[in-house]
Amino acid sequence: MEQQNARYQSIEHLHRQLEEKERELEELRYQFEEARETIDAIRNGQIDALVVEGKDGHQLYTLQTADRTYRVFIEKMTEGAVTLSQQGIILYANTQFANMVKYPLSSVIGLSFDQFITPKAISQYRELFQNCWNADAKGEVYLLCDGDKIPVQLSLTTLELQDGLALSIIITDLSFQKTIQEQLRQRNEQLEIINRALEISNHDLQQFASVASHDLQEPVRKILIFSHLLRENLDLLSPDSIKYVEKIIESSTRMKRLIIDILSYSRLSANDFGIEEVNLNDVTRELLEDFDLQIEEKNARIIVTNLPLVQGNKGQLRQVFQNIISNALKFVKTDVQPIISISGKRIATKSFNSREDPGGDFALITFEDNGIGFDEIYLSKVFALFDRLNSKDKYEGTGIGMSIAKKIIDKHNGLITASSKEGAGATFKIILPLRHTPS
């Protein structure tokens, strides 16, 4: 019985000891949580002073307002931030840096910063560390991050603390930037490969077009010669045969013109692009002399106002003007005097909506006629290769002329457009830079 009572007393004593230890543990937990909250409050700038109980009673420790603002700013930064001693030991680090290196924040303080630098970058970091005490420095290194490495930029500057000089380092993660740079590098390499392939392809196409056009012109030339010989001997031909010969001559002429236009279009892809000062007034005057018979035949009235000087390829620009004027003389109304107006002015920007500016860097040239016009729903076809808006039986042509004009204007870094209404004439507008810049 006495033994049993002694056992009960012993168990009760152990229970009391256990309860006392649990209370002590709870008190320690409370103190730890209070300390953690205090540290977080200090870090986040939520408090400006601390009252600490010491041997000599309670003492007040104030935190400067500037320090508070600095701590809040540093803690909220998306970059990592550390403060190092002159020996390279981390005195302070923000949460972002701890996240970058995947270390608990409490474990970072007191470590040497260079242990977070990859071996290959350590010499570069040490050079930065040595030089930055004399002047601010920046450099790119790689940080160790849980077995991986991340590219960062270090921005180093010295700080004057109460205990002496220290070093502040801002760490910017360059991972995204490096990824984009690598993607751009790969894309540039792919573009270079594609461009080389296109250059080869364009050269081959130009060679093919040149050879094909030359080889095609010879049989067409012979067809035209023999057809004309047949037409000169009409007494040997029946009326039907005469009609067939005329059809052969007409088709052969159109084929010859088509071959020449294809060759002209293919040559526009070549890089030989001579630039000179081009007086568009002279170009227009020369063309009107060439069209003299056609203008007289159709009793056309041509109105030309002063056109600006531009830099470009005179032969190509002449071809643009020729194609547009030729169309204006071709697509005229029956029993209506054709009137063609060609005007120019300087504008401020490369836009058809730009304001007029006598000192502008661009020229706007406008061609207006009172011909048959076209429905603007077909505007996309005007500059398309081989597309025609009118029957080839009624209006001669290959459908390449305005495609050639657009390609020439594109090569001059300009713009071309058209507007019209069916039966109400057409307007073509061209914008050219006054000074040519390579595309």
Contact 138, 154 (CB under 8 A): yes
Q: Are 406 and 383 in contact (CB under 8 A)?
A: yes
Give the residue among 80, 168, 181, 174 at the shortest CA–CA distance from 121: 174
Residue 266: other Cβ atoms inside 10 A: 18
* pLDDT attached to residue 391: 46
Retrieve residue 287's tokens.
């063309």
- Check the CA dihedral 22-26-27-29 and report its sign: positive
Selection from 72-76, 390-394, 397-401, 414-418 with the highest mean pLDDT? 414-418
Instruction: Identify the pLDDT of residue 97.
Output: 87
| pLDDT higher than threshold 80 for residue 73 | no
Of the listed ranges 196-205, 237-246, 341-350, the one predicted with least confidence? 196-205
Name which of 430, 420, 216 is nearest 319 in CA terms.
430
What are the phi and psi torsion angles at 384 (to 5°)?
-85, 145
Least confident segment among 43-57, 80-94, 360-374, 381-395:
43-57
pLDDT at 39 over 90: no
| Calpha distance 408→320 (Å, rounded) | 7
Enter the tokens of residue 27: 């008190």
Cα distance between the two ends of the chain = 111
19 Cβ neighbours under 8 A, 6+ residues apart: none
Based on the number of CB atoms within 10 Å of its own CB, is 129 exposed (0-12), middle (13-18) or buried (19 or more)? buried
Residue 20 binned pLDDT confidence (cut-offs 50, 70, 90): confident
Q: What is the mean pLDDT of the chain?
A: 78
Dump pLDDT digits (tens) for 242-253. 788 788 877 777
C-alpha–C-alpha distance, residues 229 and 223, integer Å: 10
Residue 273 pLDDT > 70, yes or no?
A: no
Cα-based angle 86, 90, 91 (whole degrees, multiple of 5): 85
pLDDT of residue 302: 92
- Cα gap 325→199, rounded to integer Å: 33
Residue 205 banded pLDDT, cuts 50, 70, 90:
low
Which residue did the predictor score with more confidence, 102 or 395? Answer: 102
Q: Are strands 415-420 and 49-54 parallel, antiparallel or unpaired?
A: unpaired
Q: Strands of 124-275 (E only): list them.
A: 137-145, 148-161, 164-173
Which H helix or E strand runs over 351?
none
pLDDT digit string (tens) for 134-188? 888 888 999 988 878 889 999 998 888 777 788 888 898 888 888 888 888 899 8
Report pLDDT for 280.
93
Q: Say if residues 95 and 79 touch (Cβ distance below 8 Å).
A: no
Q: What is the pLDDT of residue 7?
A: 60
**What DSSP letter does each residue of 118-156 carry, written as one string?**
-GGGHHHHHHHHHHTTTS-EEEEEEEEETTEEEEEEEEE
Q: What's the whole-number mean pLDDT along residues 418-433? A: 88
Q: pLDDT of 375-407, one tens digit each?
A: 777 676 777 654 444 444 444 544 577 888 888
| DSSP line for 54-97 | ETTEEEEEE--HHHHHHHHHHHH-SSEEEEE-TTSBEEEE-HHH
375 touches 422 (CB < 8 A): yes
Cα distances from 165 to residues 2, 100, 295, in angstroms, run 74, 26, 90
In this prediction, residues 283-289 reach a mean pLDDT of 88
For the residues 412-417, what does the mean pLDDT come to?
90
pLDDT of residue 270: 56
Residues with Cβ within 8 Å of 164's Cβ and at least 6 positions away in sequence, in order, are 86
User: Residue 398 in 3-state DSSP?
Assistant: coil
